[in-house]
Amino acid sequence: MKDLARRFPENPLLLPKDISPSHPGIQVISLLNPGVFMFQNKVWLIVRLAEGVGQKEGVINFPVLNATGNTEIIEVPLNDPNLIASDARVVNYKGLDYLTTISHLRLLSSDDGIHFKEDPEYPGIFGKGYLERYGIEDCRVSQIGDSYYLTFTAVSDSGVGVGLKTTRDWRHFEEKGLILPPHNKDCAIFEEKIGDKYYCLHRPSSKEIGGNYIWLAESPDAEHWGRHECIIKTRPGMWDSARVGAGAAPIRTERGWLEIYHGANEAHQYCLGAFLMDLKDPSIVIARTIDPIMVPTEVYELSGFFGYVVFTNGHIVEGDDLTIYYGAADEFVCGAKFSISEILDKLKI
Ligand code: MAN
């Protein structure tokens, strides 16, 4: 299917083998879903590294952080009747859910937006404490004034929620704790106030009544959130029928706040779409794309750790040019360019 994305010819920009694991005995399984920001005139990615141990025949391994903060590997025979392992990303063992990998975040920078490298002065950011026992994932970065707000998925046996840190220099971080409790993820803070309020998009989920929808919330300080409103739902029979979630911070355009979001169907196939919110009152959704603006089509999007996935939570805007960085097949980091006016033209009331 033809989409609106102009993929970088250099894709994939980063593969798991390009980054060293956090410690010996563990392997980088996937490199994915980078937050993106400008700092010191460079493009930076805050990339998710999902680590685990290579699979051995007849058993499944999954890592957890123990009470002392070290990674422990649990190994279970595949024929164990207490094991449910039908998704590459999660397993259920003795009634408890575990991830097959544990994620942390790494900082990489680039002068040209294509070649990225790590700098030892900016070390990795790891899950801390019992609410991040299964790791931290999929960080969005919003720049407000000279502060950067990092919203990320905090995963533990207590659930999946949204954590917040702030920084000015990427070396010292203020820990703001869990700002949205389980089950919640995909939180993107608007980069400017509207009136005297901060706004964010987020994605609470319900297994019973309700679903995986995009919500809007407001806050006096970008830390404490209230007045939640459900603004974007899944659409039966369409590419975004099972789940939808916000990408990076909404983009201010003349016509409204433009948000790039991911949607998945029941077969867990992830595409990207867009919607537009009113500039003064973002709870009003003015328009939404019918067809996806990006569909997995390339080999590196169709097969990998979890195939048929394009997922973005970071971008750079320069005039009409939108450069998104995205996770492909839950394994690689890639880049693509869009024209903002072309996306706006596809929006339907
Ligand atoms: C889903 C997937 C995984 C992720 C978990 C926890 O299962 O998005 O990649 O690790 O949720 O957030």
CA-nearest residue, atom 3 of ligand 1: 89
State the closest ligand 1 atom to the C-alpha of 90, by its place in the atom list counted from 1: 7
Domains of the chain: 16-348 (2.115.10.20)
CA distance 319 to 198: 24
> Residues near ligand 1 with C-beta < 6 Å?
89-90, 99, 137, 153, 155, 160, 185
Bridge partner list, 28 = 51
Torsion angle of alpha carbons 274, 277, 282, 283, nearest 10°? Answer: -80
Per the rule left: phi > 0, alpha: psi between -120 and 50, beta: everything else, 308 is left
pLDDT-derived band of residue 71, with 50, 70 and 90 as boundaries? confident
Q: Which residues of 40-49 are buried (b: 16+ CB within 10 A; e: fewer)?
A: eeebbbbbbb
| Residue 67 reports pLDDT greater than 80 | no
**pLDDT at res. 114:** 98
| Residue 207 reports pLDDT greater than 90 | no
**pLDDT at res. 2:** 82
Using an 8 Å Cβ cutoff, are 173 and 165 in contact? yes
The two tokens of residue 219 are 């806050």
Q: Which residue has the tokens 């803070």?
A: 189
Query: Between 97 and 166, where is the model more confident?
Result: 166
Percent of the chain with pLDDT over 90: 90
18 vs 49, 118, 132, 261, CA distance in Å? 11, 10, 25, 28
Euclidean distance between the first and the last CA atom of the chain, given in angstroms as a whole number? 23
The two tokens of residue 112 are 């040209």
Cα of 269 from ligand 1 centre, angstroms: 14
**pLDDT at res. 79:** 94
Query: How many CB atoms are located within 10 Å of the residue 227 CB?
Result: 11
State the closest ligand 1 atom to the C-alpha of 138, by its place in the atom list counted from 1: 12
Percent of the chain with pLDDT over 70: 99
Alpha helices by DSSP H, listed for the chain, are: 299-302, 340-346
Q: What is the pLDDT of residues 244-258, one digit of tens each?
A: 999 999 999 999 999
Q: Which of 319, 258, 322, 251 is nearest to 286 (CA)?
A: 258
Cα of 152 from ligand 1 centre, angstroms: 12
Q: What is the pLDDT of residues 268-314, one digit of tens each?
A: 999 999 999 999 999 999 999 999 999 999 999 999 999 999 999 99
| E strand or H helix at 77 | strand 71-77
CA-nearest residue, atom 9 of ligand 1: 89
Instruction: Supply the DSSP symbol for 237.
Output: T
Indicate the pTM of the whole model.
0.95
State the closest ligand 1 atom to the C-alpha of 99, by its place in the atom list counted from 1: 10
pLDDT-derived band of residue 1, with 50, 70 and 90 as boundaries? low
Q: What are phi and psi of 38, to 5 degrees?
A: -100, 135
Q: How far is CA 57 from the centre of its chain?
A: 31
What's the mean per-residue pLDDT of the chain?
95
**pLDDT at res. 68:** 73
The two tokens of residue 116 are 């990225």
Using an 8 Å Cβ cutoff, are 135 and 102 in contact? yes
Instruction: Supply the DSSP symbol for 122.
Output: S
